[in-house]
């Protein structure tokens, strides 16, 4: 099992875009992403903060990506 660690929102967004997600809208500091196959997720963007492990795990669940697959994308 792969261990997740906090990540900057901008880096997570780059990964989402590389997976084919598109930013559909934003509300305040929250960016909404959708994939052509119907998967969606929301990423809070606060430049001074990182996305914690719990929220990252929830986002990965939304986009149907395992922590192992995500760790491979970080390399």
Confidence of residue 1 (pLDDT cuts 50, 70, 90): low
Which of helix, strand or coil describes residue 32? strand
Angle made by CA atoms 65, 6, 73, in degrees to the nearest 5 = 40
Is CATH 3.90.1170.50 the right assignment for the domain spanning 7-74? Answer: no
In angstroms, rounded to a whole number, what is the distance separating the alpha carbons of residues 16 and 45?
14
- Domain residue extents for the chain: 7-74
pLDDT (tens digit, 9 = 90+) per residue, 22-61?
999 999 999 999 999 999 999 999 999 999 999 999 999 9
Residues 6+ positions from 29 with CB-CB distance below 8 Å = 44, 45, 46
In angstroms, rounded to a whole number, what is the distance separating the alpha carbons of residues 18 and 16?
5
pLDDT (tens digit, 9 = 90+) per residue, 4-24?
999 999 999 999 999 999 999
């Amino acid at each position: 099992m792969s261990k997740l660690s906090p990540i900057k929102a901008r880096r997570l967004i780059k990964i989402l875009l590389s997976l084919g997600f598109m930013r559909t809208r934003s509300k305040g500091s929250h960016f909404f992403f959708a994939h052509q196959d119907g998967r969606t997720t929301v990423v809070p963007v606060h430049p001074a903060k990182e996305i914690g492990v719990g929220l990252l795990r929830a986002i990965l669940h939304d986009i149907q990506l395992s922590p192992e697959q995500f760790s491979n994308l970080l390399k």
